[in-house]
Chains A and B, each alone.
Chain A
Amino acid sequence: MSAIPMETGLLLAGVLFMLGLISVMIRRNIIFMLISVEIMLNAAGLAFIVAGSHWAQPDGQIMFIFILTMAAAEVSVGLALILQIHHQLKTLNSDAANFMKG
C-alpha cells in the first residue's frame, strides 16, 4: 500500500488545487466560485491524507475531518450569501457585488 510514493500523492493534490485555483480566478459566477473553492479544499484535504498515510499517523485524517467540517460550514454560509446576493442583485455575477470597492 505504501508503494505509492508520497510525491505522487502530493502532486495529485497540487494539480487538483491548481485546477480549483484557476477556476476561482476565471469564473464570475459565484456558484462556480464556491464549487472551485470546494475543489481546492478537497485538494488540501487530500494532501493531508497523503502525508498521514506516509507517516502512518492518524493526524492527517483528523485534519481532513476538520477541513470537511469547515467546508460544510463554509458551504452553508456561502450558499446563504449566494441566495441573498441573488435576491438583492438579481444576478450571480460576483463582480456586481463590488460595494467594497475603494
Chain B
Amino acid sequence: MGELLWLIPALPFAGALLLVLFGNRISRALVSAIGVGSVGISAAVTLVLGIEYLTSRPAFIRQEVWQWFDVAGFSPAIAFHLDALSIVFIFVITFVGFLIHIYSTEYMAEDKDYARFFACMNLFVGSMLVLVMADNLLLLYLGWEGVGLCSYLLIGFWYKEPANGYAARKAFIITRVGDTAMAIGLFMLFQTFGTLHIQSISMEAAQVWTIGNETAVIIAFLLLGGAVGKSGQLPLQTWLPDAMAGPTPVSALIHAATMVTAGVYLIARMHVVFELAPAAMMAVAVIGAITLLIAGFAALTQYDIKRVLAYSTISQVGYMFLALGVGAWSAGVFHFMIHGFFKALLFLCAGAIILALHHEQDMRKMGGLSKKLPVVFYTFLIGAASLAAFPLVSAGFYSKDQILWLQLAGENGNIWLYLAGLLGAFITSIYTFRMVFLTFYGEEKTHVGHKPTMAITVPLIILAVLSFAGGFIELPHNFGHVVLFSDFLAPILPAVSVVPDFTQYEWMLQLLAAVISLGGIFIAYLFYYKKPELIESIHRSELAMAIHRFWHSGWGFDQLYDTLFVRPYVYLSRVNKSDFIDSIYTFIANSTQGVHQLFSTTQTGVMRNYVAGIVVGAIMIITISLLL
C-alpha cells in the first residue's frame, strides 16, 4: 500500500495542471469534479494509508520518487516520508481541504474565474502536502514556497482591486522574509551534516552537538524565523489579517489546513534541533505567549468578522508555539488539529454569512441571524465554543487545557507563560462571543439573501461534529485519561516530562481555566448583548478610544514596518531610479564631450588663425628649448 504515497500530493497537482491547461474549455461541473475530486481521492488515499499505518505501526514509510539532483554529495530526492506526525497533518490537510473544496463549489459558483480558483486551491493543497510529507528539508522548502505562491495567488484572487494585490504581495513578501532566514538555516544544516535529509539530521544532531551548542542555537533560531513567517507570529504576523482579501474558503484553507500551520509543523519536525537549543525553545514559547496576547487584544477591537477570525488564528497558533516552546510537542500538534477543525468551521460559517449578506463583512451591520441561518448559527456556536474552550463539551477545551497545564507542570514551564496563556484564554472567549452576539443576536440589520444549500451545510456539520468530538481522543489524566493522540505521536515526538508535584493540583487548574472561559463568555454577554450601553460608556473615554485604535490597527505593526522598511526602501529605490552609477559614466562621457567642444571652438575655419597657432606653437617650442 505504501506505493500509493506519492499519489497523495500528486493528485492535487495533477488536478491543478489539468485545470490550468483545460480549465477554460470545460464545463463548470467538470471543473468542480476535477478540483474537488482530486483532493477527495487524495483524502481517500490518506485514509487508506492511515489505516494501513495504524494497523501495521511501522516507524515510517518512505518512498523515493526520483533523485532530484546530486551535486558533490548534496543529493536531495523527491521522496515522501510518512510517519505519525505527517499523518496527522496530511489528514487535516486533505480532509479539511476536501470539505473546503466542496464548500467552494457553492461559494464560488458565481465567479467567472471558477477554474482558476480551483486550480490554485488544488495547487495550495498539493504544496502543503509536499511540505508535510517531504523527506528532506529542500523538498520541504519547495512545498513551503509553493504554499507562499498559492497564498499570493489566492489572496489576490480578485485581482482587479489593487488592495487585494497589495495584501497578496504583502503575504508573499513577508513570508519570504521568514523563508530567507530558514534558507540560511538550511545552509548551516547542510554545512554541519552534509545533507538535508530530515531523518539523518535528527539522528546525528544529538551526536554532533551538545545541548546549547552555538550552531544549534543559531540554526534553531533561523528555522524559527521561517516558522514565524509562515505561521503569522510576532514579528512577521502583519500579513495574516490582510490576507482576508481573498475569498473566504481561501481564508479557511490558509488558516485551518495549510500555510499557517506550516511553522508548527516545521518546529515539531525539527524538534531534535530545537531540543538542543534551549534558548530557541524559550524564544518559541515567548513569541507564542506575546503573540497570543497581542493578537487577542487586536481581535477584541475588530469589526470585520474575518479579521476577528484572522487575529484569533494568530492567537491560537501562538498557543501552539507556546506548547512547542515548552517541549509539549504532542499538545501543540493536538491543538493544531482541533484548531484546524474549528477554525475551518468558523471561517466557512463566516463565509456563509458573508454570502448571505451580499459580501458584507462588517459585524456592526450584522445581527439577528440566528433565526435566518439556523444551521450556520448552531455550527458557528459549536466552533465558537471550541475556540473559547467552553468547558467539558468542546474539543478546544481539552487541547487548550493541556497546553496551559503543561506550562506549569512541564519541566520547562514557567508561571509567566502560564499566566499569559490564561489571560489569552480569557480574551479569546470574550472576542469569540462578542462575535457570536454581534452576528447572531440583536435585530437584523442587513437583508439575508443567499440561503446556504447542501454544499455549504454538509461541510459545516461535519466540521462541527469534529470540533465537538475531536477532543475526546485525548483527555487529561484525572479526567478519563485518554491518550490516543499522544500515544500515536509518541514514536516521533517525545512526551514532555511532568514535574510530579503538580499533578495533584491539576483539577484546580482545570477549574480555573473553565472559570476563565465562562467568565469571558459572561463578559461578552454583558457587554454585547445585555447592556450595550457599557460599551458606549467605554467608547466615550478618550484613553480607551486611543487604545482601541491602537489595537484595531494590530498594535501599529503595519505602520512601524511601513516607516522602518517599506518607505525607506521605496524612497531609496525611487530616488535612485535612474541609477546614480550610470550618472558617473554619463559624467565621464559629458566631460569628454565638453572638452571636445572646448577644443572644437579653436577650429574656427579661419586659416589665418591656424597660421597664428602654428607660429605661437613654434615660438613656444623654441622658447622652451632655449630655456632648457
Given contacts A21-B615, A25-B615, contact A98 B608 (CB under 8 A): no
27 pairs across A/B with beta carbons < 8 Å? A21-B611, A21-B615, A24-B608, A25-B608, A26-B608, A27-B608, A33-B607, A94-B606, A94-B607, A94-B608, A95-B605, A95-B606, A95-B607, A95-B608, A98-B606, A100-B603, A101-B603, A101-B604, A101-B605, A102-B597, A102-B599, A102-B600, A102-B601, A102-B602, A102-B603, A102-B604, A102-B605
Q: How many residues of B contact A (CB 8 A)?
A: 14
B572 at the interface (CB under 8 A from A): no
Q: 14 extra interchain contacts, Cβ-Cβ under 8 A, other than A25-B612, A97-B605?
A: A21-B611, A24-B611, A25-B608, A25-B611, A25-B615, A26-B608, A27-B608, A94-B607, A98-B605, A101-B603, A102-B597, A102-B599, A102-B601, A102-B605
Choice from B602, B605, B608 contacting A99 with Cβ under 8 Å: B605
How far does the Cβ of B132 sit from chain A's closest Cβ, in whole Å? 75
Q: How far is the CA of A27 from the CA of B604 in the complex (A)?
A: 16
Interface set, chain B 574-628, CB cutoff 8 A to A: 597, 599-608, 611-612, 615
Q: How many angstroms between the C-alpha atoms of A99 and B604 in the bound complex?
A: 9
Considering the complex, give the chain B residue whose CB is closest to the CB of A95. Answer: B606
Question: 8 closest A-B pairs (Cβ-Cβ)?
Answer: A98-B605, A102-B600, A102-B603, A101-B605, A24-B611, A100-B605, A95-B606, A94-B607
Q: Is A28 an interface residue (CB 8 A)?
A: yes
Contacts of A33 in B (CB 8 A): 607-608
Cβ of B293 to closest chain A Cβ, rounded Å:
77
Question: With a CB–CB cut-off of 8 A, which chain A residues contact B604?
Answer: 98, 101-102
Closest-by-CB residue of A relative to B612 is A25
In chain A, what residue has the closest Cβ to B598?
Answer: A102
Which residue on B lies nearest to A101, using beta carbons? Answer: B605
In this complex, what residue of A is CB-closest to B604? A101
- Complex-state Cα separation, A49 to B1, whole angstroms: 117
Q: How far is the CA of A25 from the CA of B597 in the complex (A)?
A: 25
Docked-complex contact B605 and A28, CB < 8 angstroms: no
Assembled-state Cα–Cα distance A28/B615 (Å): 17
* Complex: A67 Cα to B247 Cα, angstroms: 98
Binding site for A on B (CB under 8 A): 597, 599-608, 611-612, 615
Cα A28 to Cα B603 with chains together (Å):
17
How far is A41 from B612 in the complex, measured between Cα atoms in Å? Answer: 17
Interface size on A, residues (CB 8 A): 15
Binding site for B on A (CB under 8 A): 21, 24-28, 33, 94-95, 97-102
Residues of B within 8 Å of A28, CB to CB, are 608
Residues of chain B within 8 A of A95, CB atoms compared? 605-608
A96 to chain B, nearest CB (A): 9
Shortest Cβ distance from B599 into chain A, in angstroms? 8
List of A residues within 8 angstroms of B602 by Cβ: 102
A94 to chain B, nearest CB (A): 5
Interface core residue of A95, A99, A101, A102 (most chain B CB under 10 Å): A102
Contacts of A26 in B (CB 8 A): 608
Instruction: Return the chain B residue nearest A30 by Cβ.
Output: B607
Chain A neighbourhood of B597, CB < 8 A: 102
Min CB gap B96→A, angstroms: 80
CB distance from A36 to the nearest CB of B (A): 9
A54–chain B nearest beta-carbon distance, Å: 22
* Residue in chain A with minimal CB distance to B615: A21
Chain A residues closer than 8 Å to B607, beta-carbon distance: 33, 94-95
Q: Contacts of B600 on A, CB cut-off 8 Å?
A: 102
Q: How far is the CA of A98 from the CA of B615 in the complex (A)?
A: 20
**Which of A25, A28, A99 has most chain B Cβ within 10 Å?**
A25
- Smallest Cβ distance from A37 to chain B, in angstroms? 10
How distant is B501 from chain A, measured CB to nearest CB, in Å? 99
Chain B residue numbers with a CB within 8 Å of A98 are 604-606
Give the CA-CA distance A27 to B607 in the complex, in Å: 10
A99 to B607, CA, bound (A): 11
Kindly list chain A residues whose C-beta atoms are within 8 Å of the C-beta of B612.
25
Q: For residue A27, which residues in chain B have a CB less than 8 angstroms away from its CB?
A: 608
In the docked arrangement, what's the CA distance between A95 and B604, Å? Answer: 9
* A-side contacts of B605, CB under 8 Å: 95, 97-102
A94 CA / B611 CA spacing, docked (Å): 13
Residue of B with least CB distance to A27: B608
Give CA–CA (A95, B611) in the complex, Å: 13
